[in-house]
Structure 1
Amino acid sequence: MLYHGISIMLAPVLVLQGLKVRRTTPKLPEPEGERVGQTGANPTLNLLILGDSAAAGVGVCNQSEALLGQVIEQLSPTLDVNYALFAKTGATTSTTLEALKQQCTPAHPILGQSTFDVIITSLGVNDITSSVSCDKWLQQQQQFFELIRQLYQPKLILVTALPPLGLFPALPNPLRWSLGQRANQFNERLAQLIHKLNQQDNQTSRFAMIKLPLDNPQPEITMLDFMRQVMASDGFHPGAPIYNAWASLAVEQIVDGVVAPTFV
């Protein structure tokens, strides 16, 4: 691809910009709030969220505003949920895969659960900002998917696409452009992998990809300015509006793919 050649030529600039971004971007904490629990006396859905700082809810103050809390709130009119969140700032596909292998014991308060009906994943941003190749990342993603299927037998795995790094206010150009192009490539290949997994014989888990439709409803401002409004103060993590939209897409898939069929 053309951007590969351009990125190679710009490599010294990209490295310097990347180091500066890491040094100057504010380090936001993970939000407070429960990561394991249930709503109602008899939950009918087991939900697990796995991933990185976005999965953990960095960018808001409490889990009620983050992905977990928003999914629970939006599902509440439909059903009660047994929920769990296993996410960590800085997590990559590789580190999450290893954590699952090492910590998935009956004694673990989150990973020790025997089944989850729905698993939402959010991994890739920390991979993309590292030196991992797209091929290697896809191999790790496939291993990760196969492991969570083996461990938890989910009915639905919702794979969150990489966000549009080319619109992140915290990133200067040309670093923003380069990471945006890289994210597009990773997403294209990830969609192909998900399609392949859904075509496998004896498939007990269905995969679906969640990609946020970040359309600017304010034509008088630029898309970059709009992103500054809906992202966290660091210009790198989701803000409450994005978590709300993300949860809406997840809930739509859960209701259509898991909840509705049980009433047919």
Structure 2
Amino acid sequence: MLYHGLSIMLAPVLILQGLKVRRTTPRLAEPEGERVGQTGPNPTLSLLILGDSAAAGVGVINQSEALLGQILKLLSPKVDVNYALFAKTGATTSSTLQALNEPVDCSHPILGQTHFDVIVTSLGVNDITSSVNCEKWLQQQQQFFELIRERYQPKLILVTALPPLGLFPALPNPLRWSLGKRANQFNSRLQQLLLKLNQQGKLTSQFSMITLPLDNPQPELSMLEFMRQVMASDGFHPGAPIYNAWAGLVVEQILDGAVVRTCA
């Protein structure tokens, strides 16, 4: 209640700060590199990454440093993978739903496929910085989850939690504080939604939430300074160290969930 009251009082300041951040934050390009392909001659795992600029790898130069490339690097000693990345800067849950609901030619290299063993999602930052409220966002997320589950029949859907916007160097206070609180609220409700979905016995897909462990190993640095070191130059997107940690959690879930038989 205190957060909502303060947010209403600070609304004019938050709006002005948000506009300034949009105007002054550098726009980084999506990284180069293959988004569809396979590793090795006999893939036994199919992987799809869906989402926004973070899913696309903004913040690094090549896909080899981004989430997709780091996942493939960690999986390569154990399993060959069919992989696909469908992500776009600025994507929201609503825009991604719209893209998935458009008529798709069966020859489309990504959306035309009929099955993925694992789907990793990364959506929410662009929702949270817009005017969408939590209830509406949860409805959209549930529609999104139901759509990808029905269309691709994955064994595992790994849902990436909203990042800690309260630690983003690009954001000034009180905007940083407000968005951080908002992200915590959205994450709490998202976790409840995933628990509810997992309790529905008819589902063949298992949902799991990925929350990045952003622990500062350098006590002499403030958390904000640490984030400046591990994030991209714009202070808003992940850097290679965060993509590496993110990929590690994804691979851990894939292997622990017995989604694929490995050769190791």
TM-score range, shorter chain: over 0.9
Displacement of 1:260: 5.8
**Partner residue, 2:220:** 220
Asked if the contact 2:155–2:259 (Cα under 8 Å) also holds between the matched residues in 1, the reply is: no
Aligned amino acid, residue 233 of structure 1: S
Superposition CA RMSD, Å: 1.1
Matched-pair contact (CA < 8 Å) for 1:156–1:258: no
Which residue in the other structure is 1:75 paired with?
75
Map Cα deviations across residues 143-171 of structure 1 (whole Å, 9 max, x no partner): 00000001000000000000000000000
SS at match of 2:37: strand
Of residues 160-169 and 104-113 in structure 1, the stretch that sits farther from structure 2 once superposed is: 104-113
The equivalent of 1:32 in structure 2 is 32
Residue in 2 that maps onto 1:153: 153
Corresponding position of 1:41: 41
Gaps of at least 5 residues in structure 1 are none
| Deviation digits for residues 178-222 of structure 1 (CA, Å, limit 9, x no counterpart) | 000000000000000000000002110000000001010000010
Deviations 1:4-26 (A, max 9, x none): 11000000000000000000000
One-letter code of the match for 2:15?
V
Q: Distance in 1 between matches of 2:99 and 2:131?
A: 21
Distance in 1 between residues matched to 2:93 and 2:252, nearest whole Å: 25
Aligned pair count reads: 263
Partner of 2:135, secondary structure, is helix
Q: Which residue of 1 aligns with 2:177?
A: 177
Q: Using the alignment, how far apart are the partners of 2:8 and 2:108 within structure 1?
A: 44
Asked if the contact 2:74–2:251 (Cα under 8 Å) also holds between the matched residues in 1, the reply is: yes
Do the aligned partners of 1:103 and 1:111 also contact (CA within 8 Å) in 2?
no
Equivalent residues in 2 for 1:55-66, closer than 5 Å: 55-66=55-66
Q: Look up the match of 2:6.
A: 6
SS at 1:258 equivalent: coil
Determine the C-alpha separation between the residues in 1 that align with 2:261 and 2:166.
38
> Match of 1:206?
206
- Which residue type is aligned with residue 31 of structure 1? P
Counterpart Cα distance in 2 of 1:60 and 1:103: 32
CA distance in 2, matches of 1:54, 1:7: 27
Aligned counterpart, 1:100: 100
Corresponding letter in the other structure for 2:164: P
C-alpha deviation, 1:259, in angstroms: 3.6
How far apart, CA to CA, are the structure 2 residues paired with 1:173 and 1:108? 44
Question: How many percent identity over aligned positions?
Answer: 81
| Partner deviation per Cα, 1:21-67 (whole Å, 9 max, x = no partner) | 00000000000000000001110000000000000000000000000
Where structure 2 has 5 or more consecutive residues not aligned to the other structure, the ranges are: none
Distance 2:103 2:124 in 1: 21
Cα pair 1:14 1:174 within 8 Å, conserved? yes
Residue 127 of structure 2 corresponds to: 127
Shift of 1:261: 6.8
Find the residue that maps to 2:85 and give its secondary structure: strand
Matches of 1:180 and 1:228 in 2, distance apart?
Answer: 16
Offset of residue 83 of structure 1:
0.1
Looking at structure 2, the residues matched to 138 and 18 of structure 1 have their Cα atoms a distance apart, in angstroms, of: 23
Partner of 1:237: 237
Q: Which residue in 2 is equivalent to 1:249?
A: 249
- The 1-side partners of 2:180 and 2:6 are apart by 13
Equivalent residues of 1:155, 1:258 under 8 A apart: no
